[in-house]
Amino acid sequence: IPLKEGSYKWAHGNLVEEFDTSIVVIETDENIIGVGEVCTLGSSYLPAYSKGVRSGILEIGQSLIGKDPTNIGLINLEMEKKLKGHPYVKSPIDMACWDILGKYHKMPLWKLLGGKFGKKVDLYRAISQEDSETMKSKVKEYKAEGYSKFQLKVGGYYEEDIERITSVSSLLNSDNTLVADANTGWKSYEALKVIKKTANLDIYIEQPCETYHDCVVVRKKTTNPFILDESIDSINNFLQAYNDGAMDIINLKISKLGGLHKSKQLRDLCVELKIPMTIEDSWGGDIATAAISHLAHSTPEKFRFSSTDFNSYNSLSYTEGSPKRIDGKFAASDSFGLGVELDFSKLGKPEFVVN
């Protein structure tokens, strides 16, 4: 999937010019087809990589043949039994099973995930790490398109990050939200320097450091609203962070948890514990964006900090029905399942078939 902007940059010198996404198609004996997608953000961001998706599916695929895809809990247990860990491998299979479940019961996925809250979902726009003037220019452009929430990719040299945050902040008003997302790129002392120099600005600090310990150290020394992302890769890790008072908000990434089944569990737990969420994934195209929209739209608005529309970042669309952003918002489809139909002419032949 090529990017409209040509490249996407974030902490640790990471740069991607196009994304390698994996699409799973599950065919059933009742002629219902389910689709799922997982797109890793390169191979040096999370412990996940695109070729690992395909080899992992080959490892577990045969054991799923003949199973009932609407029995999603059992499918997840079967995948875990066959392949320990590697949740990103299981995510597109789980997603495709949810798509089948919705189509089987003739319901949109949001209805099965808890109902629909509000008419639209607020989106954030991620701003690739560039020099401060370029980032400021992009925020101005996206603000004109209707976005009100912006996630700056910082986590570089901290003095340049201070300039990035300060420059962009000058464009915004009280109706806007600004998140400084370091993607684990700062040492704790660097994070504290950034926070001190931007103390007069209304910003959220997201995942400043690589280790959970260092994030907690920073958290205890700032009054800024605090978001954890990379540290929240399981329900157990979330519970530890909650008990430690380590964050105000989390980023819930579907593939990091292994699909919609476990993402729904964590989402419902966050609602119960009153922790707001940004509901998203690592990256993706039309299918992943559709899944995000259903999970986000079925989350009570009070606990829905933000979401994202990855398909608007990309220059390739391969479905009909994927949600489209209007004025910085999108809505989940009312069609059955995920509400998308694949255009197979844009995808070519399958890389492999398990039967």
- One-letter amino acid at 65 equals I
For residue 261, give every residue at least 6 positions away whose Cβ sits within 8 Å of its Cβ, in sequence order, or none.
Answer: 72, 73, 76, 94, 98
Measure the CA–CA gap between 254 and 258, rounded to whole angstroms. 6
What letters, b where the CB count within 10 A reaches 16 and e where it falls short, cover 194-204? bbebbeebebb
Angstrom CA distances, 83 to 62, 100, 119, stand at 12, 23, 39
- One-letter amino acid at 298 equals S
Measure the CA–CA gap between 43 and 48, rounded to whole angstroms. 6
Sign of CA dihedral 159, 128, 150, 223: negative
Residues annotated as part of the active site: 153, 253
CB 167 within 8 A of CB 135: yes
